[in-house]
């Protein structure tokens, strides 16, 4: 059966490997080609390699930019536990607080971490919280009063007399939650009662009756910038 003279892609490609290119290097072969043959040679031998190299270079550049670009410093970190605020409320609070302190978003950022669940006795939350408190990661904590009462005896919070200015301390005295702390054996230390918590009920984000129990704010003992904690408290009370 006779097949017509119709040219096929297979024949076009095969033309690249005829005697006219015998004995030449791949570069010399490529230079000797013209028109469609040159495009086929470029496609088959070079195009995929070039695309692969460009993709690898783009990935490396992106990785280097991510690793070596200066990251914003944490200006303020709030640990929000047990759903005392929902996602939308936290987002609104964060936006307004960033504006309140005139945050330079290129150099700084605030964090409102709502991943802590103490009422369910979740060990992962307790471990994470203990580590963050120890290294000074957390600025303030916001939690139900029942959670506060479990944690305060173990020295998780800074006395407010040490964290706040005298003026702000006196201004907030009617909101203080007084508590004692315990020694290494779990026994309450006599005369250790101090103001460790601030009741937030009746403030803008925590209206009366919002939750079944009061919401308490505390300051982390290892956090170094007490000034921003005071700013946050004033922001909540404005």
pLDDT at 58: 77
* 121 shares a domain with 23: no
- Given a cut of 50, whether residue 19 has pLDDT beyond it is no
Mean pLDDT value of segment 163-174: 94
Q: Residue 17 gets which letter from DSSP?
A: G
223: three-class secondary structure by DSSP: coil
CATH number of the domain bearing residue 155: 3.40.190.10
Q: Hey, which residues does 68 pair with through a beta bridge?
A: none
Comparing 56-70, 80-94, 204-218, the range with the smallest average pLDDT is: 56-70
Domain with 32, as residue range(s), is 9-68
CB 238 within 8 A of CB 168: no
- Percentage of the chain beyond pLDDT 90 is 59
Q: Which of 68, 94, 110 marks a domain boundary?
A: 68
For residue 121, is it left (φ>0), alpha (ψ between -120 and 50) or beta? left
Half-sphere exposure (Cβ direction) of 207: Cα atoms closer than 13 Å: 2
- Structurally, the chain folds into a number of domains equal to 2
For residue 206, tell me if it sits in a domain: yes
* 39 or 120, which is more confident: 120
* 152 shares a domain with 82: yes
- What contacts 21, CB < 8 A, 6 or more positions away? 29, 32
**Mean of per-residue pLDDT scores for the chain:** 84
* 19 or 236, which is more confident: 236
* 83 shares a domain with 36: no
With cut-offs at 50, 70 and 90, classify the pLDDT of residue 26: low
Mean pLDDT value of segment 81-109: 94
CA 205, 194, 191: angle at the middle one, nearest 5? Answer: 155
Comparing 5-14, 36-45, 95-104, the range with the smallest average pLDDT is: 5-14
For residue 1, tell me if it sits in a domain: no
* 90 shares a domain with 16: no
Comparing 127-131, 164-168, 206-210, the range with the smallest average pLDDT is: 206-210
For residue 96, is it left (φ>0), alpha (ψ between -120 and 50) or beta? alpha
Task: Provide φ and ψ at 224, rounded to 5°.
Answer: -90, -25
Among the listed residues 210, 207, 195, the one whose alpha carbon sits nearest the alpha carbon of residue 159: 195
For residue 4, tell me if it sits in a domain: no
Q: Which of 68, 97, 119 marks a domain boundary?
A: 68
For residue 154, tell me if it sits in a domain: yes
Q: What is the spatial distance between Cα 173 and Cα 61, in angstroms, rounded to a whole number?
A: 55
What pTM was estimated for this model as a whole?
0.70
For residue 147, tell me if it sits in a domain: yes
* 27 or 79, which is more confident: 79
pLDDT at 16: 47
For residue 42, tell me if it sits in a domain: yes
* 225 shares a domain with 126: yes
pLDDT at 39: 58
In tens, the pLDDT along 117-145 reads: 999 878 999 999 999 999 999 999 999 99
- Given a cut of 50, whether residue 230 has pLDDT beyond it is yes
- What contacts 83, CB < 8 A, 6 or more positions away? 114
pLDDT at 10: 47
For residue 63, tell me if it sits in a domain: yes
Reported in sequence order, the residue ranges of 102-220 that DSSP labels E, i.e. its strands, are 108-116, 140-144, 176-179, 194-199, 215-219
End-to-end CA, the chain: 95
For residue 125, is it left (φ>0), alpha (ψ between -120 and 50) or beta? alpha
Q: Which of 47, 68, 89 marks a domain boundary?
A: 68
* 105 shares a domain with 31: no
For residue 34, tell me if it sits in a domain: yes
* 59 shares a domain with 151: no
- Given a cut of 90, whether residue 210 has pLDDT beyond it is no
* 104 shares a domain with 22: no
Q: What is the spatial distance between Cα 114 and Cα 77, in angstroms, rounded to a whole number?
A: 11
* 177 shares a domain with 229: yes
* 77 shares a domain with 49: no
Tokens of 70: 């200066």
Tokens of 54: 């460009």
């Amino acid at each position: 059966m006779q097949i017509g003279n119709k040219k096929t892609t297979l024949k076009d490609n095969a033309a690249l490997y005829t005697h006219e290119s015998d004995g030449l290097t791949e570069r010399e072969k490529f230079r000797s080609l013209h028109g469609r043959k040159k495009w086929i040679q470029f496609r088959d031998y070079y195009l995929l390699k070039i695309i692969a190299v460009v993709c690898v270079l783009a990935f490396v550049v992106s990785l280097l930019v991510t690793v070596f670009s200066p990251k914003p410093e944490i200006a303020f970190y709030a640990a929000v536990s047990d759903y005392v605020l929902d996602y939308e409320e936290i987002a609104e609070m964060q936006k307004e607080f960033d504006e309140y302190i005139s945050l330079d978003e290129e150099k700084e950022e605030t964090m409102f971490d709502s991943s802590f669940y103490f009422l369910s006795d979740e060990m992962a939350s307790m471990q994470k919280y203990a580590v963050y408190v120890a290294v000074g990661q957390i600025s303030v904590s916001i939690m139900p009063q029942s959670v506060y009462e479990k944690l305060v005896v173990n020295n998780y919070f800074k006395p407010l007399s040490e964290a706040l200015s005298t003026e702000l301390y006196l201004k907030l005295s009617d909101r203080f939650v007084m508590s004692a702390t315990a020694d290494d054996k779990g026994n309450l230390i006599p005369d250790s009662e101090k103001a460790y918590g601030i009741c937030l009920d009746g403030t803008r984000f925590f209206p009366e009756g919002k939750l079944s129990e009061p919401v308490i704010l505390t300051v982390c003992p290892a956090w170094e910038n007490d000034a921003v904690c005071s700013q946050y408290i004033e922001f909540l009370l404005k």
